[in-house]
Structure 1
Amino acid sequence: MTVPPSGPAADSTALLTDHYELTMLQASLAAGTADRRAVFELFPRRLPEGRRYGVVAGVGRALEALESFTFGDAELAVLAEVLDGPTLNRLAEYRFSGDIWGYPEGEMYFPHSPLLVVESTFAEAVLLETLLLSIYNHDSAIASAASRMTLAAGERPCIEMGSRRTHEQAAVAAARAAYIAGFVSTSNLAARARYGVPTAGTSAHSFTLLHDTEEQAFRAQVDSLGRGTTLLVDTYDVAGAVRLAVQVAGPELGAVRIDSGDLAALAVQVRRQLDDLGNTDTRIIVTSDLDEYAIAALAAAPVDGYGVGTQLVTGSGHPAAGFVYKLVAREGASGELEPVAKKSKDKASVGGRKFALRRRSAAGVAEAEIIGVGTPPVGEEDDRPLLSPLVRSGEVVGREPLDAARARHQAARAELPLAIHAMSRGEPAIDTVFA
C-alpha cells in the first residue's frame, strides 16, 4: 500500500520562497493592482569587494525551477493558514505566462548589469523573486570564485571536490557552476547524474590506513583502477611513498597526490624523485585548502593539477553574489509602462526596462558595460548585445547544453583586459556606463 505524501510535493519549487512574496500578492489582489503589467530586474549594485568581474551561473537551474513553480494541493494546504481564499484560488491557477530575457550562462557581469529582465503581471513576477535570487546568488558566487581559480591555474586542470564542505544540494549546484567556469571534473556523483559533469576520484587516507602496509594499499588500488591511477603519497612519509608508488605501478603511474605540508617545496622534491626513478610522465596533483591565491602562488612549482574544496563551495570569501530583484517599471494610468525606482540612500536603482551591451575595442578587448533604457544605440562601436530571450509567453526558449555555457565563459573572459589576471584587489575590469 502506497502512503500519500503528507507534505508539499518534492518536485514543486513554489514554496522555496519568502512569506512576504505571498502577502504582497494577497494585498495587491485586494487593491486591484495585482494584474498591472510590471518589469522586474535582477542585478548587482556592485561586485564583491576587490573583485574585477563576476560570472553568471544558475540560468539553466532557474529555468528548470520556473517550470516546477506550481501550487498543488499539498502546497496550498501549507498556505491555507496564512492566506485568504481569493489568494489561494489565484495560486492554484498560477503558471508564469510572461517573458524573461537574461545574460546567458557563463557570461561576465559588472556593477548594475541587468542579468534578468522579467516582464509579466506584478502577481506573476513578484512571486519569483526569492527563487531566482537564491539560485543566481549562490551559483554565480561559486562560478565567479571558480573562474578566478581556473584563471590562476592557466592550462593546469582544476578538480572540484568540496561536497563535504557544504549543504548536500548546494554541493551539486556548486559542481555545476564550477564546471561552467572551467573546472574539468567534480567528485560529486549527483552532478554527473543530473548535469553530465565529468567525475573523478581515487582514494583517501583512510584507504591507506585500512591496509597493513602502504604498499598493500597501493597494490590494491592499482589492481582495481589500473596503473594510470593517482596514488595519495602523504599518509606517512612522502619520499618513501613515492618510491613505493613507482615500485608498484612502474613508469605508467598516472599521478601522485600531495594533500599536506609545504606544497611548493614538496612538489619540487617529488618531481625530482619521480624523474630520477624514470617516471617523467607521472603527474603531481596537489590539494589541501586551496584557493585562487594559493593556486597563483604555485604557478612556478612543478604541479600538474589542483583539487579544490572548501574555498570553492564557499565562494572564496564571498558566498553570495549580492544580487537584488527590483521593480523598475509598471503599467500606468495610460496603459503604458512607466519607469519606477527605489531612491533610498545607498540602495538606489535606475528605473525603466534596460538593454545591455558589451563595448569592445577594434582589437576585440572589452572596454565598457553599456546599460540604458529604451532602444539600444546603433553606432560604429563594436557593441555585443548581452540579453537573450530565456522565456517567451511562459515557455522556456533559452535552454542550452552545459558545454555551451562553458565555452561562452572562456570566450567572454578572453575579451576582458589583462588586468583580470592580477589576483590582488582591484576595481571592476571595465566601467559600467549608463547610456
Structure 2
Amino acid sequence: MSTALLTDHYELTMVEAALRSGAASRRCVFEVFARRLPDGRRYGVVAGTGRLLEAVEAFRFGSQELAPLRDSHVVDDATLDFLADFRFTGDIWGYAEGECYFPGSPVLVVESDFAHGVLLETVVLSILNHDSAVASAASRMTSAAGSRPCIEMGSRRTHEEAAVAAARAAYVAGFATSSNLEAGRRHGVPTSGTAAHAFTLLHDDEREAFSAQIASLGKGTTLLVDTYDVPTAVALAVELAGPELGAVRLDSGDLLTQAREVREQLDALGATATKIVVTSDLDEYAIAGLAAGPVDLYGVGTSVVTGSGAPTAGMVYKLVSREDDSGTMVGVAKKSQDKQSVGGRKFALRRRDAKGMAHAEVIGIGEPPADDGDDRALLLPLLHNGVVVEPSRPTLEAARQRHVDSLAELPAEARQLQRGEPAIPTEYLPRS
C-alpha cells in the first residue's frame, strides 16, 4: 500500500513553489533530532527504523493518490506530473534501531534534492516519534524489571495500527511478548495470552471456568485468580492443575502484598514452580516498586503504548544544509527562540573510555569527529540512491541486541528512574 498520502498538505505546496522557483533540485541535507528528552529522562531509544524503510520504499503516487490531489486542487498540474514519477533516489543515514540517543543526536540524515527530501518529512516523523517514544518507555520498564520478563498488552488502549507498531517497538526495547496477533503476523513479535475476567464470569463458578481453561490449554496455563476471592481461587487452581500449574495472574488490589501472600500459599500447596504474573496499570515506577516481591512476569498496557507520559519523542526534521548558487553546500539553521537548530551536515560517534563505557555523544559538523581508538560511529547507511542497503536493514533480533549493547555502555545512572539530566552530554565539534 502506498504511504504517499501519509503526509501534510504543506509538504506538497512547498514542492510546487520550489518547482516554480527552480529551487526544488537544489542538493539538501535534512536531519532528524530531538532538541531535548522528555522531562527527567536520561536517554531515548531509536525505534521504527525498519518500518521507516518500508514506508520510504512504498512512498509512490499512483492514480489513487493523485486523483484526490487533482480533484481538490491541492497542487498544480506540473507538480502532479512530478509526483507521478516520484521515487526517493537520495541517501539516508541513521542510528541503528535499538540505539540509545540524546538531545541533538542526528538519528536520521537525509541527503537528496529539496523536493525529494521534504516530501518524506511527515511520514518519517510519524514513525520515529511514535515508535521511539514507546521504545524509550519500554526500555525504562525492562530495566526496572531486571531479569523478569515484561508482556506488552496495550492494544485496547490505543489506535489499532498504533497498537501493532507499539508492540514492535516494545519488543525492540526488551519486552518478551505481546498480546497483539497482528504484530506477530506482520513483524514476528512473539505473542502470548490466556483468559480475561469475562471467561470466568461466563461460567457458573470458578471451578467450571478453570477446568475448561485447563482442559483446553493444559496445566501450564495461567489462571486469573482475582475475579472473586484470591485465596479461594489459588487453592482451587492448584487443586485442579496440581503443582504443574504454570502461573496465576493478579490484576487488582495491592499487588505487592497479594503477590507475597499468593507465593506463600502456592509454596504451602506444593506449587513451588507456579509463577505469579501481575497486571493492572503498571508503569516503570510500579514495576520498580514490585521488585521486592515474588513476581515473575509483568503485564504492561496503557503506559507502554502511550510512552509512559511522553507519547512522542519530540523529534523534528530540519533542513541543515543546502546547495548555494555556486554549487557549494552551506549550513543553514533555524534561529527562532527556543527552537534553534545547528546548521551543517552532522556525523556522530559515541565517545568511550578504554573499558567501553560511554561518556559523551560527539557530533562533528561537516566532517566526522576523530576517533581516539575506543569510540563507536553511530550513523549507518540505510539507503543509497534510493535503494535499501540490505546489511543495514534492521531485523527485530538485531535491534533488540543493539539496544542491550547500547544501554550496557551507558553510565549506571542512565537506568535510574529518578529525574535527572541526560546520561551523557552532547558535544558539537566545529568544522576544522
- Fold similarity call, TM over 0.5: yes
Measured in 1, the distance between the counterparts of 2:417 and 2:44 equals 14
Q: Say if 1:286 and 1:305, in contact at 8 Å, map to a contact too.
A: yes
1:126-205 equivalences under 5 Å are 126-205=118-197
Q: How far does the alpha carbon of each residue in 1:70-106 deviate from its partner, in whole angstroms, 9 at most, with x for none? A: 0011111111122101000000000000000000100
User: Which among 9, 19, 25 is matched to residue 15 of structure 2?
Assistant: 25
Conserved 8 A contact 1:358-1:368: yes
Instruction: Letter of the 1:291 partner, please give it.
Output: D
Task: Give the Cα–Cα distance (whole angstroms) in 2 for the partners of residues 377 and 172 of structure 1.
Answer: 38
Structure 2 distance, partners of 1:302, 1:263, is 10
TM-score for both structures, normalised by structure 1: 0.97
Counterpart residue number, 1:402? 396
Matched, 1:77 2:67: yes
Is 1:111 the counterpart of 2:103 in the alignment?
Answer: yes
Give the counterpart of 1:63 among 28, 53, 58: 53
Secondary structure of the corresponding residue to residue 137 of structure 2: helix
Aligned residue number for residue 298 of structure 1: 290
Deviation, 1:377, is 3.1
Q: Which amino acid aligns with 1:30?
A: R
Q: Would the aligned equivalents of 1:361 and 1:381 in 2 still touch at CA under 8 Å?
A: no
- Specify the alignment match of 1:417 in structure 2: 411
User: Match of 1:6?
Assistant: none
Whether contact under 8 Å (1:284, 1:302) holds in the other structure is yes
- Give unpaired runs (5+ residues) of structure 1: 1-10
- TM-score, reference length from structure 2: 0.98
In structure 1, distance between residues paired with 2:128 and 2:415 = 24
Matched residue count: 425
**Residue ranges of structure 2 left out of the alignment (5+ in a row):** none
Matched, 1:338 2:322: no
Task: Check the 8 A contact 2:321/2:330 in 1, yes or no.
Answer: yes
Q: CA deviation at 1:381?
A: 4.7
Q: What is the root-mean-square deviation of aligned Cα atoms in Å?
A: 0.7
Give the Cα separation in 1 of the matches to 2:357 and 2:372: 15
- 8 Å CA contact retained: 2:347, 2:368: yes
Between the aligned partners of 1:401 and 1:378, the Cα distance in structure 2 is: 30
Out of 37, 44, 47, the position equivalent to 1:54 is: 44
Q: Distance in 1 between matches of 2:400 and 2:285?
A: 23
Alignment of 1:321-400 (within 5 A): 321-397=313-389, 398-400=392-394
CA shift, 1:378, in A, is: 2.7
Alpha-carbon separation, structure 2, partners of 1:71 and 1:45: 32
- Report the residue type matching 2:5 in the other structure: L
Q: Distance in 1 between matches of 2:103 and 2:5?
A: 30
Partner residue of 2:220? Answer: 228
Taking the aligned partners of 1:63 and 1:347, their CA distance within structure 2 comes to 28
Q: 1:380 Cα shift?
A: 2.7
Asked if structure 2 preserves the Cα contact closer than 8 Å seen for 1:161 and 1:307, the reply is yes
Could you tell me how far 1:379 is from its partner in structure 2?
A: 4.5
Q: Distance in 2 between matches of 1:217 and 1:312?
A: 30
CA distance in 2, matches of 1:345, 1:72: 40
Does the aligned pair in 2 maintain the 1:359–1:381 contact within 8 Å?
no
Percent identity over the alignment?
Answer: 69
Secondary structure of 2:239's match? helix
Matched, 1:12 2:6: no
Moved over 6 A (4+): none
Q: Tell me the secondary structure at the aligned position of residue 319 of structure 2.
A: strand
Between stretches 415-424 and 112-121, larger displacement belongs to: 415-424
CA distance in 1: counterparts of 2:373 and 2:57, whole angstroms: 38
Determine the C-alpha separation between the residues in 1 that align with 2:119 and 2:371.
Answer: 38
Q: Shift in Å at residue 373 of structure 1? A: 1.1
Contact 1:355 1:376 survives alignment (8 Å): yes
| Secondary structure in 2 matching 1:345 | coil
Q: Deviations over 1:350-390 (max 9, x none)?
A: 11100000011112111000011122233535210000000
Q: Can you list the C-alpha shifts for 1:338-357, whole angstroms capped at 9, x where unaligned?
A: 11111111111111100000
More off after superposition, 108-117 vs 418-427: 418-427
Deviation sequence 1:145-177 (CA, Å, 0-9, x none): 000000000000000000000000000000000
- State which of 87, 104, 127 in structure 2 corresponds to 1:95: 87
Alignment equivalent of 2:28, drawn from 38, 45, 69: 38
Supply the distance in 1 between the matched residues of 2:195 and 2:103 (Cα, whole angstroms): 42
